[in-house]
Amino acid sequence: QVQLVESGGGLVQAGGSLRLSCAASRRAISMYSVAWFRQAPGKEQEFVTGISWTGSNTYYTDSVKGRFTISRDNAKNTVYLQMNSLKPEDTAVYYCAAKITSYGGNVYSKAAEYDYWGQGTQVTVSS
């Protein structure tokens, strides 16, 4: 019964930046890995980036490498997604998801592996 709430989305011009946040409703009672997924209208959901419980391991889809950075502050129960050099093709609803794990260093990239999902936040990048 963990609620995840995304925030920070909005409308920006191409080349701009946004910082998304994913906050849990309460302190974690287990270790969890967190990921960001996104879905554009009429498109399939895709994995964007994920981070391990420890924060030491991350994974990015090729299209965002060098532009997006995922990080976490477990003391604040919050995961962040810093998005720089945004492109129109980044336009989508962004969802955060959390997966309970017994392994603090693991990161997961499949949506079906995740236990909790937020409601999403819209990111729109104009050209």
Nearest to 90 by CA among 44, 42, 126, 49: 126
Quote the pLDDT of residue 103.
94
Quote the pLDDT of residue 26.
73
Report the alpha-carbon distance of residue 79 to residue 71 in Å, rounded.
6
Instruction: Answer yes or no: are the C-beta atoms of 121 and 23 closer than 8 Å.
Output: no
| Lowest mean pLDDT across 28-32, 33-37, 91-95, 120-124 | 28-32
Instruction: Answer yes or no: are the C-beta atoms of 64 and 19 closer than 8 Å.
Output: no
pLDDT in tens, 12-44: 999 999 999 999 987 777 899 999 999 999 999
Report the alpha-carbon distance of residue 97 to residue 113 in Å, rounded.
9
- Average pLDDT, stretch 109-125? 97
Rounded to 10 degrees, what is the CA torsion of 44, 14, 82, 48?
A: 20
Quote the pLDDT of residue 98.
96
pLDDT in tens, 44-90: 999 999 999 999 999 999 999 999 999 999 889 999 999 999 999 99
Quote the pLDDT of residue 2.
83
Amino acid, single-letter form, for residue 112:
A
Nearest to 19 by CA among 71, 56, 66: 71
